[in-house]
Amino acid sequence: MKIWLYDTTLRDGSQAQGISLSLDDKIKIARQLDAMGIPFIEGGWPGANPKDVQFFWQLKEEPLQQAEVVAFCSTRRPNQVAASDKMLQGILAAGTLWVTIFGKSWDLHVTESLKTTLDENLNMIRDSIEYLRSQGRKVIYDAEHWFDGYKHNSDYALATLKTAIAAGAEWLVLCDTNGGTLPHEISQIVTEIAQAIPNCPSLGIHTHNDSGTAVANAIAAVRAGATMVQGTINGYGERCGNADLCTLIPNLQLKLNYECLPPEKLAQLTQTSRIVSETVNFAPEERSPFVGRSAFAHKAGIHVSAVAKNPLTYEHIEPEAIGNQRSIIISDQSGMSNVLHYAQKFGIKLDKKSPQCRQILEQLKTLENQGYQFEAAEASFELLMRSYLEKRPTMFELQGFQVHCNINQEKISPDSKALATIKATVGKHRLLEVAEGNGPVSALDKALRKALVKFYPKIAQFCLTDYKVRILDGKFGTDATTRVLVESSNGKTSWTTVGVSSNILDASYQAVVEGIEYGLLLESFAKTKVTHH
């Protein structure tokens, strides 16, 4: 059975706290959804703000490839005429074939929010849909607060649907606007509607996640007969969000065999999730089902061993089906299988029976217990592995460093600098260099680069792109152990290294030094398989 997907990220999703989409953002997301094959894309409420008006105008100039862009609006105001309602004129000006009109289903909202009569609300629904149909538009009717309305006054709620049908609505979308309905209620009510309304047109479902059941509710509605599902990418939306299409689509298609997207389009789901999260400036949710980076990540040794033999042992679908990928995590819970996986990943030959394999695993667990986190610093783990296998070339040796910070306590100048001195050797050459930086870590980094760049010119292309500090045992206050993660890049790839010490400068020193060493390793071992760490 075909399920029609209706994305409302650009309208309902943009109501999420912290999201503010520019016109360019909206266009970018719309084109990505179009490329993925979403049939209906709700673009916004034209007339409510200039940005949405411009959005529809721009897409008229440069149309999408296959998706229907939908304009959204409420029914006319009470005691007016649809033909003269400015909101509906804005809908028509958007120039879309499909429009979505929402109306009140719950008598409480009619009397308390609209401050009108139940009969007038029915007139508003009828008049609005009939007018839009007379102007050549196809209408999707969103029955707002449908499930709450039905539970409180089923006769009136059904009357609103019957009115929309008689006026010419092509879809009836049942909305759990407050997000308080549970799956068993959804199934029962959707089933009852089909029985109560003979020749009922196509039904859709729109769910919110206030009870944590938005996706389950949408699935329940589909199983009860709904053929349109509305939702947002990554579940963005007001309050607790909307049904997450990134979870809903693969469940419907891969688990229940409904036709949602062509397989090659479904494989774009993970990419779409990350593009949208980047566009709205939200960090991707690592633990999101299906599309999260942790969705197919395996950490425990026994899991890794089993997955290596047959992925079905710990994976419910093939990650490639939705554009994700399997990852093996290295940590204190690792076993031999994790170590062997990473050896292969790094292009290192390692025998499971060799004593070095056991030594690497034991050292890994010891260091993780001290606060190291190799899961987030694969470059440091590769260096550790190469040390035990005697495949870590000595590019330079460090004898120590000193850092001096000159800060005027009365008035800290923005030009205040830290001064670092580095002692090192490269072969027989003894090096002593000094450099200034905006802080002690910057000064250390610059001094080390200055000392080594004459021997390794490629260092000039390296840059520090991220620096993270974590206090591991805060109860010790300023004596606490500190973990530092440093991300470096050569402009082509990036890698992360880790340092741990009760001295934050020493921890930083470890991470910065290994970051430069690993960058040089990439240059000297060009044939080694390089991955983004």
Taking the CA of residue 201 as centre, how many other CA atoms within 13 Å lie in the half-sphere pointing to its CB?
Answer: 18
Class of domain 397-524: alpha beta
Q: Beta strand 171-176 with 297-298: parallel, antiparallel or unpaired?
A: unpaired
The span from the CA of 192 to the CA of 200, in Å, is: 11
pLDDT of residue 410: 52
The helix (run of H) or strand (run of E) holding residue 498 is strand 494-501
For helices 504-524 and 378-388, give the axis angle rounded to 10 degrees: 70
Q: In CATH, which of 3.20.20.70, 3.30.750.24, 3.50.50.60, 3.30.70.270 is domain 4-279?
A: 3.20.20.70
The span from the CA of 293 to the CA of 325, in Å, is: 8
Q: Is the entire prediction scored with pTM above 0.85?
A: no
Degrees to nearest 5, angle at CA 363 with 360 and 364: 85
Q: Are 68 and 97 in contact (CB under 8 A)?
A: yes
Question: What is the maximal distance between C-alpha atoms in the chain?
Answer: 94
DSSP annotation of 49 reads B
Question: Torsions phi, psi of 240, nearest 5?
Answer: -95, 5
Only one residue has tokens 């292969």, namely 344
Cα 142 versus chain centre, distance: 27
Q: Are 504 and 529 in contact (CB under 8 A)?
A: no
Which tokens hold the place of 210?
């206030």
- CATH 3.30.160.270 in the chain is located at 397-524
Q: Beta strand 429-437 with 327-328: parallel, antiparallel or unpaired?
A: unpaired
Q: Beta strand 494-501 with 463-471: parallel, antiparallel or unpaired?
A: unpaired
pLDDT of residue 171: 97
State the distance between the two ends of the chain, measured CA to CA, in whole angstroms. 42
Alpha helices in 352-400 (DSSP H): 355-370, 378-388
The helix (run of H) or strand (run of E) holding residue 263 is helix 263-266
pLDDT of residue 409: 55
Q: Are 447 and 434 in contact (CB under 8 A)?
A: yes
For helices 86-94 and 118-134, give the axis angle rounded to 10 degrees: 30
- pLDDT per residue, tens digit, the chain (533 aa), is 999 999 999 999 999 999 999 999 999 999 999 999 999 999 999 977 889 999 999 999 999 999 999 999 999 999 999 999 999 999 999 999 999 999 999 999 999 999 999 999 999 999 999 999 999 999 999 999 999 999 999 999 999 999 999 999 999 999 999 999 999 999 999 999 988 888 788 999 999 999 999 999 999 999 999 999 999 999 999 999 999 999 999 999 999 999 999 999 999 999 999 999 989 988 888 899 999 988 887 766 667 677 777 777 878 999 999 998 877 666 656 677 778 877 788 888 888 788 888 888 888 888 878 888 787 788 888 888 888 888 888 888 888 888 888 766 555 555 568 899 999 999 889 999 999 988 888 888 899 989 999 899 988 989 888 888 888 876 777 778 888 999 999 888 889 999 999 888 889 989 999 999 999 888 876 534 444 44
pLDDT of residue 533: 42
- CATH 1.10.238 in the chain is located at 297-387
Of 148, 86, 140, 88, nearest to 113 by C-alpha is 148
Q: Are 174 and 206 in contact (CB under 8 A)?
A: yes
pLDDT of residue 416: 65
Taking the CA of residue 234 as centre, how many other CA atoms within 13 Å lie in the half-sphere pointing to its CB?
Answer: 28
Strands (E), 427-489: 429-437, 463-471, 482-489
**If one looks up domain 297-387 in CATH, what number appears?**
1.10.238
Q: Are 225 and 194 in contact (CB under 8 A)?
A: yes
Q: Are 333 and 311 in contact (CB under 8 A)?
A: no
Degrees to nearest 5, angle at CA 228 with 225 and 232: 130
What is the Cα gyration radius of the chain?
Answer: 30
- CATH 3.20.20.70 in the chain is located at 4-279
